Structure 1
Amino acid sequence: MKKTLSIAEAQRLAEAALIAAGTAPENARPVARALVAAEASGQPGHGLSRIPSYVEQVRTSKVRGGAVPSAELVKPGVLRIDAGFGFAYPAIELALEKLPAMARANGVALAAIGRSHHFGQGGAHCERLAENGLVAMIFGNAPKAVAPWGGSRALFGTNPICFAAPGPEGMPPLVIDFAVSRVAKGKIMAAERTGKSIPEGWALDEKGQPTTNAADAMKGTMIPIGEAKGAALAMMIEVLSAALVGAHFGFEASGLFDGKGEPPNLSQTILAIDPGVTSNEAYWQRIAVLFEEIEQTDGARMPGSRRLEAREAATRAGLSVPAEMYRDLLLLAGERSEETGI
């Protein structure tokens, strides 16, 4: 069974659920906005399925719902942001407000976000910088899920690579966003919550055996893309986020799917580059050549193009979510009683 929600209604319910758990309204807004945007972009693993675990973590103070992120300009092109063990999204909002002017003044700018949390659909954060004419990357780590190649013990997160660049005039930005595991762990979490199986090849169980059971996969390890290369990329992003910022590595961080333990103390590094400065304004002509060449190649698709199709469909027809997810949202928002079903 499915329930169709408008984007506005999904945003309202997500925000209400977070506020009911103790999240400050000014924090609930960007968190809910990010989750709904992920759902609308066809990324449900970073979408509304996260609400129950977010709520549980706020209730246990694993996430500080009232945390106010603070920023310190430590060098002309370097911004250090303390998320205060709160949600990542308000801290990222602060970074995205300040980075464009810094990048234009210096050619390149970097924000280092510490004491943070799950940062969701990373490509969407880069996309906003690309819409401001900047080439952007965000590196962020996650709790352990991937083993070093040849090992069986998870040490690294699924640590996505997220990138966006301005397109030619009148074209949307190029957005590339993929986890270094074959899929993002949020997809497995979403399958577990709805009782669905997962395809073979996504994960291994606790004994290192392939599994299609989402619950077993959550207890095991994720299979990296490109085998040894994917595991190496996961380690690289641990350095570019946790080591660079001074936060926890994936094997030190507590989990993101329940309220147990201390705050995960994750980190994000956002890089913004002014392509006009680096290319002496040649970027715009060169990116147009690249886009045109891809468009003229039979069968080729621009990376990230499906997200635009998904957003258009969601705007037009609403979000189709599992009925149990809708029920959970109502319960958490205080709009339905578990006992009466009303």
Structure 2
Amino acid sequence: MPDPNQQDLHNIHPSDLHTFTKQILIANGTSPPDAEIVTKCLIAADLRGVDTHGTNRIPSYMERIRQKALNPSAIPTINQVTPVVGQVDAHNGFGFVAAHEGMKLAISMAQIYGIGMVSIKHSNHFGMSAWLVQQALDADMMSLVFTNSSPALPAWGGREKLMGVSPIACGAPGGEDGKPFILDMAPSVAARGKIYKALRRGEKIPQDWALDGEGNRTDDPAEALKGVMLPMGGPKGSGLAVMMDVFSGVLSGSAFAGHVTNPYDPSREADVGHFLVAIKPDLFMSLEEFKGRMDYLYKRVVGSEKMAGVERIYFPGEIEMIMEEKRLVEGIPFAMAEIEGLNREADLVNVEHLIVK
């Protein structure tokens, strides 16, 4: 019997999606170089299967631009605090652009001094954290990527929205035989973007994801958005959310303690904070030896004994890499309602529609 929640999905080729998204951004006041950065980051999420942080975010971002809650032409500025510490002021521009500059700065410091740390203030949502990890990997760097976000999660034992569902991400280069290590996870049972995705597609959600406005478990995404997300591991997930706020919000001088604006709320600036670290992996041994050790770790993890019913063990980030290879060939799946939402944005700025083939 077919799943009543499953909709017909239509695959869009990544190159078509890239052209469309970049044109929408430029038409809404983003410079071509910045539009390229934002587009690449959004499509990277779509390719990796992180649909909640991909091009479906375009309508909410564009509405924030229209309501003057996000400045698409803002130019980040850099303050070099020490030889290994910098701060980026995003000036309420795209988080993608400020974070890209921040990681570039962290990498350049780490290449000289072994480590680079960058705090970013007055920023916005920067999508999937894994693209920043990949930026560091492309430079043969290890990384830590923190951000805070709008309130969606209670402190453990509470029921009010206070902490953000703020992802913690990190990575390390792999060797020739193994995969790179890429961890990108939210401190909640599920990312809040999955609630919005279920709402767009008219789907139910698992009952262990969220509470409604009355504090009861719910499978209705609309009711879940009136309540709170549930932290993974109870107090452990709640503690990670507080940690993200300390390093990203308190330290940077950006909003914190529940005062970051929801990216779907175009009424005011978001004032998100980020914290990025790049680390040179050959500080204590050669890069070749480090990568060889990473290869060994990969093989030990994926080759370990499996529990009953498990066919394969994956290294962190490996499932997403497999999905990327698949979607580069087959295209990126969208529900028709999602395509229509993107095409409404195209109509507003006279950009050609995404065509379902």
Q: Is 1:148 the equivalent of 2:155?
A: yes
Aligned residues: 337
| Cα distance in 2, alignment partners of residues 267 and 235 from structure 1 | 13
Q: What is residue 4 of structure 2 aligned with on the other side?
A: none
Instruction: Report the RMSD for the aligned CA atoms in angstroms.
Output: 1.8
Alignment of 1:223-302 (within 5 A): 223-260=230-267, 262-279=268-285, 282-299=289-306, 300-302=313-315
Moved segments of 4+, more than 6 Å? none
Contact map agreement 1:18 1:333 (CA 8 A) in 2? no
Q: What is residue 308 of structure 1 aligned with on the other side?
A: 321
Q: SS where residue 22 of structure 1 aligns?
A: coil
Q: What is residue 328 of structure 1 aligned with on the other side?
A: 341
Where does structure 2 lack aligned partners over 5 or more consecutive residues?
Answer: 1-7, 307-312
Letter in 2 for 1:304: G
Letter in 1 for 2:322: E
Alignment of 1:94-105 (within 5 A): 94-105=101-112
Alignment of 1:14-93 (within 5 A): 14-93=21-100
Letter in 2 for 1:103: A
1:170, CA displacement in angstroms? 4.8
**1:225-281 Cα distance to aligned partner (Å, 9 max, x none):** 000111011101110111111110151112111312x21101110011112114465
Where does structure 1 lack aligned partners over 5 or more consecutive residues?
Answer: none
Q: SS where residue 176 of structure 1 aligns?
A: strand
Q: SS where residue 73 of structure 2 aligns?
A: coil
| Cα distance in 2, alignment partners of residues 179 and 328 from structure 1 | 26
1:24, CA displacement in angstroms? 3.2
Letter in 2 for 1:214: P
Q: SS where residue 193 of structure 1 aligns?
A: helix
TM-score normalised by L of structure 1: 0.93
**1:45-69 Cα distance to aligned partner (Å, 9 max, x none):** 1012211111100101111111111
Contact map agreement 1:23 1:58 (CA 8 A) in 2? no
Q: SS where residue 118 of structure 2 aligns?
A: strand
Letter in 2 for 1:328: G
Contact map agreement 1:73 1:79 (CA 8 A) in 2? yes
| Cα distance in 1, alignment partners of residues 299 and 101 from structure 2 | 35
| Cα distance in 2, alignment partners of residues 278 and 244 from structure 1 | 29
TM-score normalised by L of structure 2: 0.90
Q: 1:149 to 1:309 in 2, by over 3 A?
A: same
Letter in 1 for 2:66: R
| Cα distance in 1, alignment partners of residues 12 and 257 from structure 2 | 35
